[in-house]
Structure 1
Amino acid sequence: MFSGSIPALATPFRDGAFDEKAFRRLVDWQIDNGSKALVPCGTTGEASTISNAEHHRVVEVCIEQAAGRVPVIAGCGSNDTRNALLHMNFAEKAGAAAGLCVAPYYNRPSQAGLIAHFSFLAENSDLPIVLYNVPSRTVTDIEDETVVELVRKFPKQIVAIKDASGDLSRVADHRMGLDHDFCQLSGNDELWLPHSAAGGAGCISVTANVAPALCAEFHEAIAANDLVKARKLNDRLFPLHYAMFSDASPAPVKYALSRVHDWFSEDVRLPLCNASDESRKQVDEALEIAGLI
């Protein structure tokens, strides 16, 4: 259903408020530079520190500005199942193509709880679901058997997964457990190349925020099976992948965006702080290697 370079968009703030003008410019820049879909209000979008009203406005603006040029996968995750459904219902009405639903964090549900959570969302909303597994942040891991059970139960509703588990064997495990195509997207930029080789369709990327054209070109090389070009681009992007996590995300990516565009503020919301001096140095070096500054 989705493929290619898909940025998990940073949410720009200015003077403590959502900077709608900068966000609209970011959406246009991403589309103009080859991004194949957009994800507002994910982890990189600081969804955990924006109100529901702000969350819905960010999603709404993204869909308005994209204007059908690329699909929008709206962040809809929550550790409250009913709040996740609220986000999904809003995103569907606003025109999103799907909802990105992270495993509920902090409350640490069992696998049975995860099945009940995602089943409730699938049964009460018509919006297609992209599962999001990132156990390093949520503590809870959506195990392979759980993914397969959910997709078998809701084959038309649960259409994809963003896998940020770091376990490449899962691509084959998911594929082998199902009798139909299932869209698998990497959630780790540094694993994008091997994830694609194992059967992945693309990446929901942090790096693509600041390097959309390079990331789009990288995916095109993979899709064309031009591994020489793909490896060359991967080497150019690799320092940036790590620099994006040289401090608490998304502080480094916001700093990187502020270096590339003077209209994008590096401000993050508490409890996050702006990127440290060491992080800034690492980001600057990576931007130079990538040829972005």
Structure 2
Amino acid sequence: MFSGSIPALVTPFRGGTFDEGAFRRLVDWQIDNGSTALVPCGTTGEASTLSNAEHHRVVEVCIEQAAGRVPVIAGCGSNDTQNALLHMNFSKKAGAAAGLCVAPYYNRPSQRGLVAHFSHLAENCSLPIVLYNVPGRTVTDLEPDTVIELAEKFPKSIIAIKDASGDLSRVTDHRMGIGREFCQLSGDDELALPANAAGARGCISVTANVAPALCAEFQQACAENDFARARQLNDKLYPLHYAMFEDASPAPVKYALSRVHDWLTDEVRLPLCTASDEARAAVDAALEHAGLV
């Protein structure tokens, strides 16, 4: 079962191509600083602009470099069910612990369509699935009744959810409808504190890319029910959580990483652009507030 601080890793680019060396260093740095699992090829990893060959190489490198020290939850989402299944089959063969599967975007499937999509994945690949609900990006909302139906239908396959709906009541909805064994992970850094208090077990995080030790310490405090300490750490991280979205993600976090490490660039792929001057100023101030520069 997953818990703690789990970074949704950026995909480093240099000269327009995947910077494998920098990515390997990033994986090591994350593990050395307390990250409890890793997510390559999620939203923050710019999966939507990677070819399938690039996508699979990023997943493969992450698993190779982690070398069993922490589990890897491979991004496997797609708005094409068959392509999502392709990612899942590859990730299972490569040694991933689970696949992070976003609700299909752009197509706008109904709840019945969502059940059919995730059922097809669960029935055709044995890789455990972490559902990913982020209606602000996908338009489609994976509603609690649908999550409960899927978890009950496939208890050994659909084991967790990353919820970025912004609706904290869903933590209790899922817990009461499915049970405490179902793993709930916040998908919003700024809501991780109340989500953990309600029963979540950690966060798949953007901020942890640049502040892995602080995020890991925050999650450990929550796990120990030391919410006084957790609030102190949350206050330290809070401006950074918002600065990560001052411009289209992951441009701000890539800029932040380029400030912390000279072996990482702030390159993103079109249609994204590097962070604006306003976003850079917000990131600079937040990094200083967190004591990272």
Q: Which residue of 2 aligns with 1:37?
A: 37
Q: Deviations over 1:2-29 (max 9, x none)?
A: 0000000000000000000000000000
- Aligned residues: CA RMSD: 0.5
Q: Deviations over 1:151-195 (max 9, x none)?
A: 000000000000000000000001111245100000000000000
1:238 and 2:243 matched: no
Moved >3 Å (runs of 4+): none
Q: Deviations over 1:120-170 (max 9, x none)?
A: 000000100000000000000000000000000000000000000000000
What amino acid does structure 1 have at the position aligned with 2:173?
D
Q: Which residue of 2 aligns with 1:6?
A: 6
Q: Which residue of 2 aligns with 1:268?
A: 268
Which deviates more, 220-229 or 203-212? 220-229
1:109-258 equivalences under 5 Å are: 109-179=109-179, 181-258=181-258
* SS of the residue 1:185 aligns to: strand
Runs of at least 5 residues in structure 1 that lack an aligned partner in the other structure: none
Query: Cα distance, 1:258 vs. partner?
Result: 0.2
Per the normalisation by structure 2, the TM-score is: 0.99
Per the normalisation by structure 1, the TM-score is: 0.99
Distance between the aligned counterparts of 1:221 and 1:60, measured in 2? 32
Q: Deviations over 1:208-256 (max 9, x none)?
A: 0000000000011111111111111000000000000000000000000
Q: Deviations over 1:47-81 (max 9, x none)?
A: 00000000000000000000000000000000000
Q: Which residue of 2 aligns with 1:73?
A: 73
Distance between the aligned counterparts of 1:242 and 1:7, measured in 2? 16
What amino acid does structure 1 have at the position aligned with 2:282?
Q
* SS of the residue 2:185 aligns to: strand
* SS of the residue 2:271 aligns to: coil
- Determine what percentage of the aligned residue pairs are the same residue: 81
Distance between the aligned counterparts of 1:100 and 1:178, measured in 2? 19
1:17 and 2:12 matched: no
Q: Which residue of 2 aligns with 1:56?
A: 56
Query: Cα distance, 1:83 vs. partner?
Result: 0.1
What amino acid does structure 1 have at the position aligned with 2:198?
A
Distance between the aligned counterparts of 1:180 and 1:152, measured in 2? 13
Which deviates more, 134-143 or 178-187? 178-187
Distance between the aligned counterparts of 1:117 and 1:227, measured in 2? 38
Which deviates more, 170-179 or 157-166? 170-179
Runs of at least 5 residues in structure 2 that lack an aligned partner in the other structure: none
